[in-house]
Amino acid sequence: MRTALSAYSEVSSAGKVGSPMLIVIAPADGRVIDTVPAHTPASVRDAVDRLRDNSVLWRSLGVVGRVHWLYSFRNWLQDNRSGLTTLLSLETGKPEIEADAELALTLEALDHYRTNAAEFLGGRMPQASLRPGTAMQLGGRRLRAESGR
């Protein structure tokens, strides 16, 4: 989790205010870890739309394809464990041993989902979206999800 304060970076040579930036601060000692660009609501919507569009491709991979990517992601986490542990420790203020234990749990969770992917993913297609007013089947009874009820 990032602890961040919103700020504006100034472009000294032009005297103009630059893009909004987030300053990532270490909660343990208050030092600046990094600055990262803030995204506009429109850029966030665009990213969400791209992810939503790519979910069709993700589903089309089937169980074997998804397991492959889970395995690749797990291996990347393992290969980068030391740096990720340090970053997690800095950003959360946790001791490195706790940050590493948290990363170990993540790796175990990925192993669990990778091992059981066929059972979890086989033959089921999740609903694209559940919005107020959408009928849903729950416990053998037909219910209607509505706002405020």
CB-based contact 122:66 (threshold 8 Å): no
| pLDDT confidence tier of residue 119, bands split at 50, 70 and 90 | confident
Give dist(CA 109, CA 41) in Å, integer.
Answer: 32
| pLDDT tens digits along 22-71 | 999 999 999 999 999 999 999 999 999 999 999 999 989 988 899 999 99
137-147 mean pLDDT:
42
Cα(127)–Cα(119) distance, integer angstroms: 18
CB 2 within 8 A of CB 24: yes
For residue 126, pLDDT over 60 is answered with no
Question: Regarding beta strands 135-138 and 4-11, do their DSSP bridges make them parallel or antiparallel, or are they unpaired?
Answer: unpaired
Give the other-Cβ count within 10 Å of 112's Cβ. Answer: 11
